[in-house]
Amino acid sequence: MHALRHVLRRAGRSLWEHLYLNAMATMVIAAALLLLGVYLTVQFNLNAIVDTWDRDVHLSAYFHDDVPEERRFARRDELAARPEVQSVRYVSAADAREWLVQRVDDIEPVLDELGENALPASLEIELVPAQATPAAIAAFGQGLAGPDFEDVEFGQEWIERFNAFLSLLQLLGAVLGALIGVAALFLVANTVHLIVYSRRDELEVQKLVGATGAYITAPFLIEGAVQGLLGALLALAGLWGVHQVLVLRLQEALQLGLAGELAFLPGGYQAVLVLLGLTLGTAASLLSVRRFLASAP
């Protein structure tokens, strides 16, 4: 208990006496976590947008012309009864033609020339949200293949491309995150090393009078934790500023109509950033003190 008080007192004293170096270490951690936070925010919002798009995806199954209408309705009712299906709408060739004519000027003569079977009848199928993943949609679409349908479209290729892009972004983020982490660890460790170096006489004397490695290390770990915590809080504050000022204004300027949808980093991610800050601060301190202890008499 007394030892803990001594350790806390020494940590507080060192934080105060090396205010400039501690502020440097805190700023390095804050800068690293801010970069990581920006990446995580972008990643989180892209994932959220993709989730929304995934939910909007539906399948169009086009009937062969020779499938009788009773059979088409039977297929509609059969699909509607499946648990993974949210809704099924039958679109006749006439409905499809009307839909296209209303939207595309001067298309009617072209359709007349192509004949009455230019646009096939189809079933427009929407899956329940839980099943609206690219893989589930693709599996469902492949399951429809058979003599009744001429073609099944579900935008699979586009979704897969975007998911591939997201995977690439995640990989780049992981590599970037690792590089930023190592660079930050190196910079903070060297800053802490300056603090250790300025206190080398005191630490050497402590060792000579019988201080254990843990006793010498503990105040530095507390200092590192404080640096990490403050760094993380600064990074979150900076991230909030970036989110409020830049991102929202950019949205307005581009009139993307996404205002309110572009979210700030959720609580779980914020906790991860704080934990990363604590880890970075304490790991850097541990590295520096261990290096010193190994060389001290």
Residue nearer to another protein on the CB measure, 82 or 291: 291
Residue nearer to another protein on the CB measure, 186 or 197: 197
**Least spacing, CB of residue 190 vs another protein, in Å:** 22
Q: Which residues bind another protein (CB under 8 A)?
A: 1-3, 5-6, 17, 201-202, 204-213, 215, 297
Residue nearer to another protein on the CB measure, 135 or 208: 208
Residue nearer to another protein on the CB measure, 142 or 212: 212
Listed as own residue / partner, the contacts of 205-208 with beta carbons closer than 8 Å and 24 or more positions apart are 207/293, 207/296, 207/297, 208/297
**Least spacing, CB of residue 258 vs another protein, in Å:** 56
Strand order from edge to edge, sheet including 85-91: 85-91, 122-127, 59-63, 149-153
**Least spacing, CB of residue 296 vs another protein, in Å:** 9
Helical segments of 58-151, H only:
69-80, 93-103, 108-114, 134-143
**Least spacing, CB of residue 9 vs another protein, in Å:** 9
Tell me the one-letter amino acid at 207: K
Residue nearer to another protein on the CB measure, 115 or 210: 210
Whole-number Å distance between alpha carbons of 55 and 36: 28
**Least spacing, CB of residue 243 vs another protein, in Å:** 43
How far CA 71 is from CA of 91, 95, 108, in Å, comes to 14, 18, 29
Contact 40, 235 (CB under 8 A): no
